[in-house]
Amino acid sequence: MGNFVSDKSRVWPKGIIPFEWGTGFRPANAAVSISSWVGSRGNATATGNLDGDVRTIQKLLNKVPAAQAGPSPLLKVDGVAGQKTRDAIQKFQLKRFGWKGADARVDPKGQTLVALNEFEVVPPDPDQEIVLSAIAEWNTVLKGHVTWRPATDQDASLVVFTKTSDINKSRTGRDSPNGKQDLNVNVPLAIRLSRFGAATAKGVILHEMGHAAGLGHEHQRDDRNTYVTVIWNNIKRYCDYRIRIPLKTDPVPTACGPFTQCSPFGGYDLGSTMHYFPNQTGKDESKPTLVAIDKKTKKPLPSQRMGGLDGLMPGDIATLKHFYPAGAQ
């Protein structure tokens, strides 16, 4: 069912995982800035240009990536705020002026509660859209247990999504109570990996986010050999650390955390998001590196699905919900 970090200091407090955009990604709010807003009540208007009001609205807009339900940003580069953003700003203004619900409007085509000015038009970033979609899936299926949200100045530790030409990788669990840790994203490589099985590029990002949350590789559980045979002579050089079962004598976690000590939770899950595919890390990708076997007879199970890089799998979700219980947030 899962393979979770043994060291509980690596668990994110209350299941909150703050993040920010690093090298290669555009800032969360790069496309627009607020210049002024206009509120309407019948024939009367109220104009806001006080620094305090503008800062409050800007904070609401900065929450857009965490609030969105899917990969498309709610705040458009044409200056039209998304519905959830408008709702949040309207709620702020109703409280600001003591208006009733029917007295305030948020209408981009008419008198608008918030007027936005473009200062820079940034082309859509399909790589960032994939990451945002992965974040949305986590926040939906693990609602109340794990939440990825934009970091604030108050966050002592956080994850930095960083574009890389290297492999997709992440530390396992929270690396330190004070500091930033990279989650390296290589979407072209993720797309290449998605040729295998039911994988998707988003699934690869979900896998790395699983590491950051504390999940280890399923195929590196200490009971792996009961369910899987490793074809070691087909494993690429320098990739054995991503396959072999960690030992207590191994060094501290490496850049992608393969030697983090993890504890098995529940039954072994061949379909886990955290399990490699049958031919992953192979010298010859037409031949297997991992072969599922019958627990009792040890005979190969060639039709058995292995690796679930098309979404968070039920076993992974159950493990995360166990270690990040509801009500902690």
Domain map (residue ranges) of the chain: 2-24+126-323, 32-118
Residue 275 assigned to a binding site: no
Check if 208 is active-site.
Answer: yes
Task: Please give the pLDDT value at position 7.
Answer: 87
Identify the weakest region by mean pLDDT among 21-35, 86-100, 302-316: 86-100
Q: What is the mean pLDDT of residues 299-306?
A: 89
SS (H, E, C) 241-310: HHCCCCCCCCCCCCCCCCCCCEEEECCCCCCCCCCCCCCCCECCCCCCCEEEECCCCCCECCCCCCCCEC
**Exposed, middle or buried: residue 254 (CB in 10 Å: 0-12, 13-18, 19+)?**
middle
SS (H, E, C) the chain: CEEEECCHHHCCHHHEEEEEECCCCCCCCCCEEEEEEEEEECCEEEEECCHHHHHHHHHHHHCHHHHCCCCCCCCCCCCCCCHHHHHHHHHHHHHHHCCCHHHCCCCCCCCCCCEEEECCCCCCCHHHHHHHHHHHHHHHHCCCCCEEEECCCCCCEEEEEEECCCCCEECCCCCCCCEEEEEEECHHHHHHHCCCCCCCHHHHHHHHHHHHHCECCHHHCCCHHHCEEECHHHECCCCHHHCCCCCCCCCCCCCCCCCCCEEEECCCCCCCCCCCCCCCCECCCCCCCEEEECCCCCCECCCCCCCCECECCHHHHHHHHHHCCCCCC
Task: Please give the pLDDT value at position 311.
Answer: 87
The residue ranking higher by pLDDT, 78 or 86, is: 86
- Name the active-site residue from 120, 137, 208, 218: 208
Structure confidence by residue, pLDDT tens digits, 172-202: 999 889 999 999 999 999 988 877 666 788 9
The domain covering 2-24+126-323 belongs, at the CATH homologous superfamily level, to Collagenase (Catalytic Domain) (3.40.390.10)
Residue 256 pLDDT level (bands cut at 50, 70, 90): very low
Residue 217 assigned to a binding site: yes
Structure confidence by residue, pLDDT tens digits, 224-239: 999 999 999 999 988 8
Q: Is the pTM of this model over 0.85?
A: no
Task: Please give the pLDDT value at position 191.
Answer: 87
